[in-house]
């Protein structure tokens, strides 16, 4: 790997900037892109270790690799452990976390109009309300503001999680 870094280490001590040979850059970028998680971080760390002193800055500048990711990989490499990624702790909180009474309020609105499947083949409860109507009633009856409530599609998902199924009501033929 040292012969792929140009100029040599002696030139680096004289103040000249090193760079990675152009023929190896795409190869390193492709290899790093194909790996995920801990394997990727270890690959970055091993590559930086082979680059020698100043390898982190060189990899950041020449390959666009994140120094924080490289440091985490170095830690994993030195300690011989794998840091777990906490993807489940990221992202947006659910509507129920923002509005703790939302589920109970939806049940209060939906429960009077819910009925069991007429064929008794499933334990599902069906409602004649649409998600849009449930949302409107939350605003009118439970005094929610329009901007604080989730959108219609999210309310539809919440109704499904609560065990209610929205079903189109077949109109009678005349």
Q: Same domain for 131 and 161?
A: yes
At 113 the pLDDT is 77
Distance in angstroms (rounded) separating the CA atoms of residues 122 and 114:
14
Q: Say what the pLDDT of residue 22 is.
A: 87
79, 111, 140 - which closes a domain:
79
DSSP letters for 74-95: HHHHHHT--PPP-GGGSSPPPH
For residues 73 and 103, membership in a common domain is answered with no
Specify whether 117 is located in the same domain as 149: yes
- Cα-based torsion angle of the residue sequence 49, 54, 56, 62 in order, rounded to the nearest 10 degrees: -110
Calculate the CA 102 to chain-centre distance.
Answer: 24
In a domain, 174, yes or no: no
Cα 58 from Cα 65, distance rounded (Å): 9
Residue range(s) defining the domain that contains residue 127: 95-166
Quick one: 60 and 15 in the same domain?
Answer: yes
Instruction: Say if residue 101 is in the same domain as residue 74.
Output: no
Q: What's the confidence (pLDDT) of residue 16?
A: 60
The fraction of the chain above a pLDDT of 70, given in percent, is: 81
The torsion of the CA quartet 38, 44, 50, 51, rounded to 10 degrees, works out to -160
What value does the mean pLDDT take over residues 15-22?
76
List, for residues 88-99, the tens digit of each pLDDT value.
778 878 888 889
Q: Is residue 107 part of a domain?
A: yes
Of 11, 45, 79, which one is at a domain's C-terminal end? 79
Q: What is the tally of structural domains in the chain?
A: 2
**Mean pLDDT (the chain, rounded):** 83
Same domain? For 115 and 162 the reply is: yes
Tens of pLDDT, residue by residue over 98-122, are: 899 999 999 998 888 777 766 766 6
**For strand 19-20 and strand 5-6, is the pairing parallel, antiparallel, or unpaired?**
antiparallel
Say if 171 falls within a structural domain. Answer: no
Same domain, yes or no, for 68 and 129?
no
Which ranges of 37-124 does DSSP label H, i.e. alpha helix? Answer: 37-51, 55-63, 67-79, 95-98, 102-110
Residue 11 pLDDT: 47
Please tell me the distance from the alpha carbon of residue 42 to that of residue 58, in angstroms, as a whole number. 17
- Position 86 in a domain: no
């Amino acid at each position: 790997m040292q012969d792929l870094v140009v100029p040599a280490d002696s030139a680096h001590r004289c103040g000249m900037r090193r760079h990675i040979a152009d023929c190896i850059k795409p190869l390193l970028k492709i290899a790093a892109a194909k790996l995920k998680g801990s394997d990727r971080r270890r690959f970055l760390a091993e590559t930086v270790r082979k680059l020698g002193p100043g390898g982190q800055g060189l990899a950041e500048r020449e390959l666009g690799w994140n120094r924080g990711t490289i440091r985490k990989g170095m830690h994993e490499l030195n300690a011989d452990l794998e840091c777990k990624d906490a993807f489940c702790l990221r992202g947006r909180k659910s509507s129920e976390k923002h509005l703790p009474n939302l589920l109970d309020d939806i049940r209060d609105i939906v429960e009077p109009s819910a009925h069991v499947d007429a064929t008794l083949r499933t334990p599902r409860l069906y409602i004649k309300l649409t998600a849009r109507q449930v949302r409107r009633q939350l605003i009118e009856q439970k005094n929610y503001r329009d901007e604080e409530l989730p959108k219609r599609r999210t309310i539809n998902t919440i109704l499904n999680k609560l065990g209610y199924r929205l079903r189109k009501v077949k109109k009678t033929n005349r």
